A and B are shown apart, each in its own frame.
Chain A
Amino acid sequence: DSGVTQTPKHLITATGQRVTLRCSPRSGDLSVYWYQQSLDQGLQFLIQYYNGEERAKGNILERFSAQQFPDLHSELNLSSLELGDSALYFCASSVEFGRAGTDTQYFGPGTRLTVL
């Protein structure tokens, strides 16, 4: 158990709908990262937050948004869902921001999203 929690574990929805994925980082971790894992594109970095502020953006679609709340939990919002959004969405957290390459990212169990 990494200490990172994600809910829900599975989500099945229809095209055009909106969903919210939730992540709670490990105790003490200030950085949260979101990744998407799909069969055709592998693991892709979406976005990173540190202590409530957005720090880096990756291949995140405009239909997707995220935020990190004062209690450090984070939510990833996916809207106008398409079939191609079906994937495993991971949240990861790490201790510090700014140290040279050292802090390990620990992953939650993931949310498996199926868009029908």
Chain B
Amino acid sequence: DTGVSQNPRHKITKRGQNVTFRCDPISEHNRLYWYRQTLGQGPEFLTYFQNEAQLEKSRLLSDRFSAERPKGSFSTLEIQRTEQGDSAMYLCASSSQGPIYGYTFGSGTRLTVV
């Protein structure tokens, strides 16, 4: 068990470019979550997968954002036509089904849009 892995750790991009982040969850976890954290705030929920199905999406997830989890394994989060307001830490977390006792977060991908 190597924990939740996120790549890249840091990404600097120019406004208007597309970016894609990857998350590899803990292998036996079938639930996967994406959160976004801006400076001075707590993480905010973006979207949730159970296996390969995307079951919930936050209103924060505009049309420029898309997430996938093919075959219920790793997940990708793509942001198209990035804006400066997209600059944030993007966190992935995974959990197993059942009573919640806290899911496992990755170290995050820090996105800076210049």
Whether A and B are associated in the same complex: the answer reads: no
